[in-house]
Amino acid sequence: MDTRSRYLQEMGITQWVSRDAGFHSVPGIGVAQDLNTDESDLIQNDQLMADLVTQVETCRQCGLHRTRYTTVFGVGPIPANLMIVGEAPSAEDDRQGIPFVGRVGQLLASMLFSIGFKLEDVYIANALKCRPPDDRDPLAEELAHCNPFLLQQIERIQPKVILALGKVAVQSLLETNESPGQLRNSGQVRAVAGVPVIATYHPAYLLQSPAAKPESWKDLYRARQLLINGSSA
């Protein structure tokens, strides 16, 4: 069994999918490569992102700065064609200052590899930049304070597609009360700042409910198709 087949098996994908000879990794769909981008624009974008990191680190708009260990801003290439937005940092994320570490991160890597991506080709962030105490759900006012930071990240990263993981990420990004499942069933692709958003389950949920993995893979495949040819099919 090759590497991709193992990852598909971990995602719970049936054999008829893994035998699809037409499915393969497409070079260039992960890292954005705009040959028309001026080097000075890239340098300016890097400086703007560095300024944004400082704003997040010094933010005192809610009480989470008193209880978190560190801020968890995001990691990945800038720009990036695919951006992943999760919910909030875990305890381990908070200790390391990096989103999606541990088992959740391992599953996320498997999810991405199953559609031909490498983790390092994707920009990863959370809707909330500080860990809530005891890993409780983020409060509406906390998300409201962090949302401008997230929107500025999107502006700097310039993704072609955003993959929103979990209800909190979906509702924060799209300002909706709908769940990922409801958005999927609607058949519509919503957008934020002009970027299409594909909603799916958070890896933490998939670890608890592995039966949902095949549905999540369909969402991932849809994101992949959007990146390749702009089709939401």
pLDDT at 176 over 80: yes
Lowest mean pLDDT among 92-96, 114-118, 197-201: 114-118
DSSP at 114: T
Q: How far apart are the C-alpha atoms of 222 and 164, rounded to whole Å?
A: 13
Is 119 or 30 the better-scoring residue by pLDDT?
119
Q: Are 198 and 223 in contact (CB under 8 A)?
A: yes
From 9, 159, 8, select the one nearest 85 (Cα to Cα). 159
Q: pLDDT band for position 151 (50/70/90)?
A: very high
> How long is the chain?
233
Token pair 């300016």: residue = 44
203 contacts 179 by C-beta, under 8 angstroms: no
- Cα within 13 Å of Cα(75), Cβ side: 13
Instruction: Return the percentage of the chain with pLDDT > 90, whole number.
Output: 68
Sorted by where each begins, the domain ranges of the chain are: 46-229
Tokens at residue 74, please? 């995001």
Question: Which of these CATH numbers, 3.40.50.300, 3.60.60.10, 3.40.470.10, 3.30.1600.10, describes 46-229?
Answer: 3.40.470.10
pTM here is: 0.83
Three-state SS at 164: strand
Q: What average pLDDT is seen over the chain?
A: 84
pLDDT digits (tens, 9 = 90+) for 20-61: 434 445 555 555 544 344 555 555 667 888 999 999 999 999
DSSP H or E run through 195: strand 195-200
Average pLDDT over residues 71-77: 95
Residue 99 has pLDDT above 80, yes or no: yes
